[in-house]
């Protein structure tokens, strides 16, 4: 599974470890949330780029893209609770649902920056999955610490 003990690798792999229904539900929940949080026409390119990249990140088939872009365009909002339940029932998340938050943070940081809109989405998805927001805050703090340490090591 993991080749080398890379500190961020387990987080990155969580989304890919989900079963196909879980990965679909994860992407759908993000797509619906993007449409809910950023409905403005000016945000359309952000929503579409985010959902397309997430589908690739989760290694979902390109065949799901039309459904995901429809969710990100505002269709299917009544499915939020259903998708959240499907995701929470996945064996990978059963005992520790906060790993989905870790995966979403890892995905959002993959290009080296943390877009404020992605952070809003992560908080929203965390709330939808009934994960205490304090767990996300602890995750962000530890991530910030590790980034500071990494930067200090690079400057030495």
Tens of pLDDT along 98-121?
889 889 988 888 887 788 999 999
What pLDDT shows up at residue 136?
85
In a domain, 2, yes or no: no
What pLDDT shows up at residue 110?
82
Place of tokens 């998708």: 83
Query: What is this structure's pTM?
Result: 0.83
In a domain, 96, yes or no: yes
Residue 6 neighbours by CB under 8 Å, 6+ apart: none
Residue 82: which pLDDT band, with cuts at 50, 70 and 90?
very high
In a domain, 7, yes or no: no
In a domain, 3, yes or no: no
What pLDDT shows up at residue 20?
92
In a domain, 1, yes or no: no
Q: Are 106 and 11 in contact (CB under 8 A)?
A: yes
How far is the C-alpha of 5 from the C-alpha of 143, rounded, in Å? 17
What pLDDT shows up at residue 15?
82
Domain that holds residue 18: 14-155
Q: How many domains does the chain have?
A: 1
Q: Which residue has the higher pLDDT, 120 or 137?
A: 120
Residue 13: which pLDDT band, with cuts at 50, 70 and 90?
low
What pLDDT shows up at residue 70?
96
Sign of the dihedral defined by the CA atoms of residues 113, 96, 34, 23, in that order: positive
The mean of the pLDDT values for the chain is 86
- How many other CB atoms sit within 10 Å of the CB of residue 136? 21
In a domain, 95, yes or no: yes
What pLDDT shows up at residue 1?
34
Tokens, residue 4: 């080398």
Residue 72: which pLDDT band, with cuts at 50, 70 and 90?
very high
In a domain, 36, yes or no: yes
How far is the C-alpha of 137 from the C-alpha of 133, rounded, in Å? 6
In a domain, 5, yes or no: no
């Amino acid at each position: 599974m993991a080749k080398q003990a890379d500190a961020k690798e387990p987080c990155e792999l969580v989304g890919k470890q989900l079963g196909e229904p879980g990965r679909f539900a994860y992407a759908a929940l993000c797509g619906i949330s993007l449409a809910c949080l950023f409905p403005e026409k000016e945000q359309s390119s952000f929503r579409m780029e985010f959902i397309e990249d997430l589908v690739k990140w989760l290694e979902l088939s390109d065949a799901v893209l039309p459904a995901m872009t429809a969710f990100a365009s505002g269709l299917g909002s009544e499915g939020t609770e259903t998708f959240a339940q499907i995701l929470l029932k996945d064996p990978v998340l059963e005992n520790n649902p906060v790993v989905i938050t870790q995966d979403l943070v890892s995905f959002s940081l993959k290009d080296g920056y943390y877009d404020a809109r992605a952070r809003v989405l992560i908080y929203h998805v965390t709330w939808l999955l009934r994960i205490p927001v304090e767990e996300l805050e602890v995750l962000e703090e530890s991530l910030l610490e590790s980034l500071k340490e990494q930067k200090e090591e690079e400057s030495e």
